[in-house]
Amino acid sequence: MRFPLALSAKIAGHIIKHKLRKTLRFAMVLQLEPLHTCNLTCTGCGRIREYSTSLKDMVPLEKCLAAARECEAPMVSICGGEPLIYPKIEELIAGLREQNRIVYVCTNGVFMRKKMKDYLAAVYSPEIEPKIKKLLHEKLISDKDAETIRKSDGAARQKTVIGPSKWMYWNVHVDGLEFTHDLIVEREGVFKECVEAIKMAKILGYQVATNTTVYKETDVKEIEGMFKFFSWLGVDGHTISPGYDYDAAKKDMVKRLGKDPKDFFLTRDMTRKKFAKILDWGKAFTIFGTPVYQEFLAGHRELTCTAWAIPTYNVRGWKAPCYLMTDTVNTEGHYAGYQEMLDKVKWEKYGVVNGKARDPRCEHCMVHCGYDPSGALGTNYQAGDNWKNFAYNFGPRPARYDRGYEINAFNGFSIGKGHLAEAKAVVNPAAGAHGAFSRKETTPEQRIGAFCGGENGESPERDALLAKIKDAKKIEAPTEQILKPK
Ligand code: SF4
Ligand code: SF4
């Protein structure tokens, strides 16, 4: 089957239960953000910008679990920030599993291998030696790691850990192949780490999904190559969604990177062009989401936003009206309870209906957290939709792509603007990073000038860039510091 039977049946049962009860609005997926601290600063991420004043705050474990109980969503997507930084992440996953929820851990992949080593140390016995040997052979753990795992003591064995389960997915953020992904996350080496973490997870029997946002500059062929590559690695599913210029991301783009958001985010027409082949991708790869949502993305039909079905809970409460937008003009922004949010938000003010935006900020939004549930819940129902969704979710799983080794996945470190490597390369092109700027400039000042768009090294951004290079060491903070948010 395309997705595990128990999971598809659980979600279908949840929808049927509420349809029979005639519940007007209910939650399908809880986007749970226990913290907004992150070890990366991805271009286009509104989270770390919108919540920049509360990056050190965390939702206590009990409140996270209570939020899941309150909205009763069968699936919980733990996101953030980087959820693996949350000090009680293991207990959170275990608590959600005790509530019988399907758990997605949305991660940038950087700390995944550490968490899986903790798991190995907790469950080590001679029976798992073949797996340890395979991980060593593939260079996914070091000899020292293997020794630590083998010698794990009482404390390591008593730790709550994140073990493989058919009810849990690692949901790894990858926005393209190496060059593109490292450009978007603004740090080189992250794509490679994601690939190694995914390989390790598959050896250990975890379920793994990838989570991709498509931007204006994203090359569709590259996305197809990415699906092929990760299918070959045994990845179990892919979420893909168009990038949307919500306020916080837009402001960051202008202020920090000096970019015009129009150059980065997709309009509706652009989204439809980029996603023209999504129905074919859905046949070839295990794309999450209903075929009805895929038809919407491809421009074959309209849907109405159902943002209430994928609510977001974070340090400030239930975020309204949606994952992307916090509307303090028409709503209170954040609410203390899910039901309170359902009751108080004027949902009819949001979304796009038959191509007409009810709120101008929604005009270009086609994101999965607003519209994917619409496809499952039968808004804008057309004859045959239920059967289409059923056949897709309960149908056969697409075959693994078997020539992934032909994909040029490691196509170079990227050095886009805002990216530390670019700044370094500007000053020292001999360092080996690929350059996106002309090599005719000879002095660092000229190169910086070219990079910043000015002439002869004169640019208002020059000083900021030099300061950035000087602060490089600070930006590359050691893992221990990152792991201990204050
Ligand atoms: S990893 Fe996720 S939370 Fe962190 S900056 Fe990137 S997109 Fe934002
Ligand atoms: S269309 Fe829906 S999900 Fe998109 S910004 Fe508007 S309210 Fe949010």
- Would you state the pLDDT for residue 261? 60
User: In whole angstroms, how far apart are CA 133 and each of 16, 65, 120, 146, 202?
Assistant: 46, 37, 13, 9, 14
Residues 204-238: pLDDT tens digits? Answer: 999 999 999 998 878 899 999 999 999 999 999 99
Tokens of 305: 């936003």
In whole numbers, what is the pLDDT of the chain averaged over residues?
A: 84
Is residue 480's pLDDT more than 70? no
What residue ranges line ligand 1, CB within 6 angstroms? 38, 40-42, 45, 47-48, 80-82, 108, 173, 185
Stretch 22-27: mean pLDDT, rounded? 96
- According to DSSP, the residues that pair with 213 across neighbouring strands are 241
Ligand 1 atom 8 nearest Cα:
45
Q: Are 61 and 130 in contact (CB under 8 A)?
A: no
> Order of strands across the sheet with 207-214?
237-242, 207-214, 168-173, 102-107, 75-78, 29-32, 312-314, 317-319, 334-335
Q: Find the DSSP H helices in 256-310.
A: 268-274, 278-284, 291-297
Question: Which range in 85-89, 212-216, 267-271, 455-459 is most confidently predicted, on average pLDDT?
Answer: 85-89
Q: What is the pLDDT of residues 424-476, one digit of tens each?
A: 454 455 544 333 333 343 444 444 344 333 333 333 444 454 454 445 434 44
Distance in Å, CA 318 to ligand 2 centroid: 15
Give 188 or 453, the one with higher predicted confidence. 188
Q: Give the ligand 1 atom nearest the CA of 106.
A: 2
Residues in contact with ligand 2 by the CB-under-6-Å rule are: 305, 307, 321-322, 324-325, 350-351, 362, 365, 367, 370
Q: How far is the CA of 263 from the centre of ligand 1 (A)?
A: 20
Helices (H) and strands (E) in the chain, counts: 23, 11
**129-137 helix and 190-204 helix, angle to the nearest 10 degrees:** 150
Of the residues 36, 43, 106, 108, which should be mutated to test ligand 1's pocket, given the most ligand atoms within 8 Å of the CB? 108
Question: How far is 162 from 168, CA to CA, in rounded Å?
Answer: 9
Which of the four pLDDT bands, split at 50, 70 and 90, describes residue 249?
low
CA triple 79-107-419, angle to 5 deg: 110
Residue 160 confidence (pLDDT): 97
Could you tell me which residues come within 8 angstroms of residue 30 by beta carbon, excluding any fewer than 6 positions away?
A: 67, 68, 71, 73, 75, 76, 77, 310, 311, 312, 313
Altogether, the residues listed in the chain come to a count of 486
The pTM assigned to this predicted structure is 0.84
Residue located nearest, by CA, to atom 2 of ligand 1:
81
